[in-house]
Amino acid sequence: MNRFRNAVKSGEFLVTAEVAPPKGADPAHMIEMASTLKGRVHAVNVTDGSRAVLRMSSLAASIILKNNGIDPICQVACRDRNRIGLQADLMGASALGLHNILALTGDPVKAGDHKDARSVFDMESVRLLQMIAKLNQGIDWNEKTLPDGATDLFVGAAVDPQSPSWSGLKKRFERKLLAGCQFFQSQLISDFDKLEKFMNQIAVESNKPILAGIFLLKSAKNAAFINKYVPGVDIPEHIINRLAKAEKPLEEGIKIAAEQVQIASKICHGVHLMAIKREDLIPRILDMAEISPIEQ
C-alpha cells in the first residue's frame, strides 16, 4: 500500500517529514525517530547525501524504514552517480517496493565533509525526472526497451518559491511539470507572502500538490546559522529576536513551526516538516497546529 500516492490522488492535506540516514551502519536512531511519525505523516523523506555530508545510502535506509512499516520517499540526487548508476538504483528501488522518489540535482561537494571528492552531475533534476518517466514507460535513457519490465515510480521534485528570479522559478517549475513531476516539496519557507504569490501566479493551474517546507528552529543561534549557510533562506529578524528572548527557545521554536503549519494550510496542499535530530517533536508541532492524525 502506497499511502502517500493514494493521499496525493485523493486530494488530502499532505504531511511529510524528513529523516537523515545514519552516519554509520546502525540504523537504530533513524528507526526510532521515524517511528514517532507513524500515524502523523503520509511519508518520510530519506535524504541522499544532503549538504554533501556522508551518510548511509538513501536506498538502503528507505528499505530499512519500509521494513519497519514506514512509507518512505527515497531522495535521489545526481551529484554522485552517472546515468548508468542512477538508472540502476531506480530500477532497484522499484523492484524493492520503493515507489516514492524525490528527484534532486544535489548539493555541491564543497559544502560537505569530503571536499576533495569528485562530483559527477551527469544529470540534473529535470533530466532525472525525464529519465524516470522513460523508465516508467519501459525504456532506458538511450531509448532501448527494458526487457525485464518497466519501473513503477511516483516522482516529485523540489521547488523554491522564494527564488530571487521569478522568471527562472516559473520556467524551472514548468519544465519539471512537463518532465512528469507528480508533487513538489519546497525549500524552507520563511516568507509566506512569496509562497502565496507563487501559488496564485505560477502553481495555480498545475494541479499538482505543493508542500511547504517548515523547519523547526531550536534557538536564535540555530536560525542565524541557517541564514548564513543555507542558500536562499532569509529567516526574518523578528523570528530570531523572538527565539533570543524566549525563556525556552526550543519550546518557542515548536510554537513558531506550528504557527507556520497553520499559515501554510491555508495557502497550499500540505507541509514538509524538517526537525533535524528532533523528529520526535513533529507530532507536538502537528497537534499544536491542529492537524489531525492520519487514518491508517
Q: Give the per-residue SS3 of the chain.
A: CCHHHHHHHHCCCEEEEEECCCCCCCCHHHHHHHHCCCCCCCEEEECCCHHHCCCCCHHHHHHHHHHCCCCEEEEEECCCCCHHHHHHHHHHHHHCCCCEEEEECCCCHHHCCCCCCCCCCCCCHHHHHHHHHHHHCCECCCCCECCCCCCCCEEEEEECCCCCCHHHHHHHHHHHHHCCCCEEEEEECCCHHHHHHHHHHCCCCCCCCEEEEEECCCCHHHHHHHHHHCCCCCCCHHHHHHHHHCCCHHHHHHHHHHHHHHHHHCCCCEEEEECCCCHHHHHHHHHHCCCCCCCC
What whole-number distance in Å separates Cα of residue 195 and Cα of residue 213?
10
pLDDT for 170-213, tens place per residue? Answer: 999 999 999 999 999 999 999 999 999 999 999 998 999 999 99
Q: Do the beta carbons of residue 29 and residue 56 sit within 8 Å?
A: no
- Beta-carbon count within 10 A of 133 CB: 17
Which residue is it, cell 520503493?
A: 98
Q: What distance lies between CA 290 and its chain's CA centroid? A: 22
Is domain 3-289 classified as CATH 3.20.20.220? Answer: yes
Question: What's the pTM?
Answer: 0.96
Of 46, 60, 47, 41, give the one whose Cα is nearest residue 3.
Answer: 41
Residues 6+ apart with CB under 8 A from 13: 265, 269, 270, 291
pLDDT for 133-151, tens place per residue? Answer: 999 999 999 999 999 999 9
Distance spanning both ends of the chain, measured CA to CA: 10
pLDDT for 220-274, tens place per residue? Answer: 999 999 888 776 788 999 999 999 999 999 999 999 999 999 999 999 999 999 9
**What pLDDT is stored for residue 295 in this prediction?**
77
What the block records as the C-alpha cell of 106 is: 544535489
pLDDT for 17-57, tens place per residue? Answer: 999 999 999 999 999 999 999 999 999 999 999 989 999 99
What whole-number distance in Å separates Cα of residue 190 and Cα of residue 195?
9
pLDDT for 123-134, tens place per residue? Answer: 999 999 999 999
Residue 4 pLDDT level (bands cut at 50, 70, 90)? very high
**What pLDDT is stored for residue 228 in this prediction?**
85
> What is the average per-residue pLDDT within 101-123?
95
From residue 189, give the alpha-carbon distance in Å to each of 6, 67, 88, 193, 275: 26, 32, 34, 10, 14
